[in-house]
Amino acid sequence: MIHSLFLINNTGDIFLEKHWKSVIGRSVCDYFFEAKDKAGDPENVPPVLQTPHHYLISIYRGKLFLLSVIQSEVSPLFVIEFLHRVADTIQDYFGECSENVIKENLVIVYELLEEMLDNGFPLATESNVLKEMIRPPNILRSVVNTLTDTLPTGQLSNVPWRRAGVKYTNNEAYFDVIEEIDAIIDKSGTTVFAEIQGAIEACVRLTGIPDLTLSFMNPRLLDDVSFHPCVRFKRWEAERVLSFIPPDGNFTLMTYHISSQNLVAIPVYVKQNISFFDTASCGRLDITIGPKQTMGKMVEGLSVTIPMPKSVHSANLTATQGSYTFDLATKVLVWDIGKLNPQKLPNLKGSLSIQSGVPKPEENPSLSIGLKVQQLAISGIKVNRLDMYGEKYKPFKGVKYVTKAGKFQVRT
């Protein structure tokens, strides 16, 4: 399926290549470079390209391109999903997926790629299994040389996501319910579209093979869900509880979606006025943010990002709270506010200067809002209880809620 993989940085250097079948020359990447130049922005490069003899499927992540070479019909999502899994694995191993990190750990990355695919077909993609075969570098290599003599067993059990013989002195299981609000608010402040994307991120450090059951107070809220392979579908369908043998360490247990049909609470409102004058080459900007439906919780980490039109030259603004930066190269204005004080609403006001001789921008830029509300799942979802079977000890359990702004956009 996947014939070869090239890792390419933003400037077009190929710094790693791996072939699972016979070797394909680097020149195949030229077609990709051509498309990349044409697209301009790396985000705009088409993920699937055709060349005379091969097909190229690429992803762009962390300023890197992962480019795979395909020779015959395959589901493109299969390849894309796999490439993202490669990036995830690298991130899992080394903390981030960037050119420097990969260059530093070239051999380990190469070995990982060797294990992840056999003849171009995914073999081991579970991080628990991979870590048994190839140790991450943070453990002393001297230890590794003795350790690797034990061969992995994870692939054999019917819980391939869990490594065998897990032992902890402190047994703990933490679950973070993270919700993101995706919304589009129009000029007048009405919600054009809003939905909630939730995820339960788990950090489970439990000895042995625990069997966990997690239930919700109000599972009916969940509109559409997807699970880590460890979750038993049938149990969910019949009883609406999550029953699973967890992987060891960090993982995403489930993601869910609460669609716009249900009323989605919007925690803040934005009053904005951005205008450019016809006559003088300048514009005015005035933004105020206030609390709307915060359920009595504090809104933190508030920020506003505005990609200004290219003709905007500079910004001369005053913020009553927080600070702003205007990047002259990318023309992005970022206003970092911090906590929202309901008594004294943060305001950003001032003038924008436009390059002279250039006609005034047609459209006002839209604002992206960033925010965070601790201890609140905006959808109202609540974990009821977590039970453990199969092991005798008492684990330490915890659930945390947090709401964030996802793709939260205000049109102006």
Partner 1 sequence: MSSTALYNDQGGAETAVEAGQESTSSTGAAFGLFSADFKKNEDLKEMLESNKESHKLEAMKRIVGLIAKGKNASELFPAVVKNVASKNIELKKLVYVYLVRYAEEQQDLALLSISTFQRALKDPNQFIRASALRVLSSIRVPIIVPIMMLAIKEASTDLSPYVRKTSAHAIQKLYSLDPDQKEQLIEVIEKLLKDKSTLVAGSVVMAFEEVCPDRIDLIHKNYRKLCNLLVDVEEWGQVVIISMLTRYARTQFINPWKEDGLDENNETAFYDSDSERNQTEAKPYIMDPDHRLLLRNTKPLLQSRNTAVVMSVAQLYWHLAPKHEVSVVTKSLVRLLRSHREVQFIVLQNIATMSIQRKGMFEPFMKSFYVRSTDPTNIKTLKLEILTNLANEANISTILREFQTYVKSQDKEFAAATIQAIGRCATNISEVADTCLNGLVQLLSNRDETVVAESVVVIKKLLQTQPSQHSEIIKHMAKLFDNITVPMARASILWLIGEYCEKVPKIAPDVLRKMAKTFTTEEDIVKLQTVNLAAKLYLTNSKQTKLLTQYILNLGKYDQNYDIRDRTRFIRQLIVPSEKSSALNKYARRILLASKPAPVLESAFKDRDRYQLGTLSHSLNIKATGYQELCDWPTIAPDASVRNVEIIEPVNEWVPKAGKSKQRKSEKFYSDEEEDRDEAGSESSSTEDSSSSSSEESDKSSSASEKTSSESEANSIDLFALLCSQVTTSSFSPVKTYDLLHHMSAKGLAAKYHFPRQPCLYQPCMVAVQVILTNCSDHNLEEIHIGDRIPASLNIHCFNTIERLEPGAAVTVSMGIDFSDSTQAANFQLCTKSDKFNVSIQPVVGELLTPSTMTEEDFCMEQRLKLAQGTVVPVGSYCCFYQLY
Residue 55 parent element (H or E): strand 55-61
Tell me the closest approach of the beta carbon of residue 203 to partner 1, in angstroms.
17
What's the one-letter identity of residue 378? I
Q: Are 122 and 113 in contact (CB under 8 A)?
A: no
Q: What is the CA radius of gyration of the chain?
A: 25
Structure tokens at 116: 């992840």
Tell me the closest approach of the beta carbon of residue 381 to partner 1, in angstroms.
16
What Å distances lie between residue 84 and 81, 221, 239, 240, CA to CA? 5, 30, 33, 30
Task: Assign residue 253 a region (left: φ > 0; alpha: ψ between -120 and 50; beta: otherwise).
Answer: alpha
Site for partner 1 in 308-337 (CB under 8 A): 309-310
Q: Confirm or reject binding of residue 100 to partner 1 (CB under 8 A).
A: no
Of 67-75, 168-176, 278-286, 315-323, the window that binds partner 1 (rule: CB under 8 A) is 67-75
Q: How many C-beta atoms surround the C-beta of residue 38 within 10 A? A: 10
Tell me the closest approach of the beta carbon of residue 335 to partner 1, in angstroms.
17
Of 114-122, 165-173, 279-287, 375-383, the window that binds partner 1 (rule: CB under 8 A) is 114-122
What Å distances lie between residue 333 and 189, 312, 315, 407, CA to CA? 21, 11, 8, 17
Which residues are CB-contacts of 120 (< 8 A; sequence separation ≥ 6)? 1, 2, 3, 20, 21
Among 12, 63, 95, 121, binds partner 1 (CB under 8 A): 121
Among 31, 33, 46, 297, binds partner 1 (CB under 8 A): 46
Tell me the closest approach of the beta carbon of residue 149 to partner 1, in angstroms.
6
Nearer of residues 122 and 350 to partner 1, judged by Cβ: 122
User: Phi and psi at residue 26, in whole multiples of 5°?
Assistant: -65, -20
Of 118-126, 275-283, 313-321, 373-381, the window that binds partner 1 (rule: CB under 8 A) is 118-126
User: Phi and psi at residue 107, in whole multiples of 5°?
Assistant: -70, -40
Tell me the closest approach of the beta carbon of residue 387 to partner 1, in angstroms.
9
Tell me the closest approach of the beta carbon of residue 145 to partner 1, in angstroms.
6
Q: Confirm or reject binding of residue 222 to partner 1 (CB under 8 A).
A: no
Q: Confirm or reject binding of residue 23 to partner 1 (CB under 8 A).
A: yes
Site for partner 1 in 380-399 (CB under 8 A): 389-390
* Strand boundaries in 206-329, DSSP class E: 211-216, 224-227, 241-244, 249-258, 268-276, 282-291, 299-307, 312-319, 323-327
Structure tokens at 411: 């049109």
Which residues are CB-contacts of 238 (< 8 A; sequence separation ≥ 6)? none
Q: Confirm or reject binding of residue 160 to partner 1 (CB under 8 A).
A: yes
Q: Confirm or reject binding of residue 276 to partner 1 (CB under 8 A).
A: no
Sheet holding 14-19, edge to edge: 14-19, 2-9, 64-70, 55-61, 48-50
Residue that has been written with the tokens 């077009």 in this structure: 12
Tell me the closest approach of the beta carbon of residue 193 to partner 1, in angstroms.
4
What is the distance between the alpha carbons of residues 269 and 304, in angstroms, rounded to a whole number? 12
Of 70-78, 269-277, 337-345, 375-383, the window that binds partner 1 (rule: CB under 8 A) is 70-78
Q: Confirm or reject binding of residue 72 to partner 1 (CB under 8 A).
A: yes
Tell me the closest approach of the beta carbon of residue 343 to partner 1, in angstroms.
32
Among 80, 178, 298, 317, binds partner 1 (CB under 8 A): 80
Among 35, 225, 265, 332, binds partner 1 (CB under 8 A): 225
Tell me the closest approach of the beta carbon of residue 302 to partner 1, in angstroms.
18
Q: Confirm or reject binding of residue 110 to partner 1 (CB under 8 A).
A: yes
Bridge partner residues of 255 (DSSP): 199, 226
The three-state secondary structure class of 363 is: coil
Nearer of residues 245 and 302 to partner 1, judged by Cβ: 245
Q: Confirm or reject binding of residue 409 to partner 1 (CB under 8 A).
A: yes
Q: Confirm or reject binding of residue 92 to partner 1 (CB under 8 A).
A: no
Q: Confirm or reject binding of residue 295 to partner 1 (CB under 8 A).
A: no
* Strand boundaries in 143-190, DSSP class E: 172-185
Of 91-99, 168-176, 233-241, 282-290, the window that binds partner 1 (rule: CB under 8 A) is 233-241
Site for partner 1 in 174-213 (CB under 8 A): 182, 184, 186, 192-193, 195, 197, 209, 211, 213
Which residues are CB-contacts of 151 (< 8 A; sequence separation ≥ 6)? none
Among 365, 378, 397, 405, binds partner 1 (CB under 8 A): 365
Q: How many residues bind partner 1 (CB under 8 A)?
A: 109
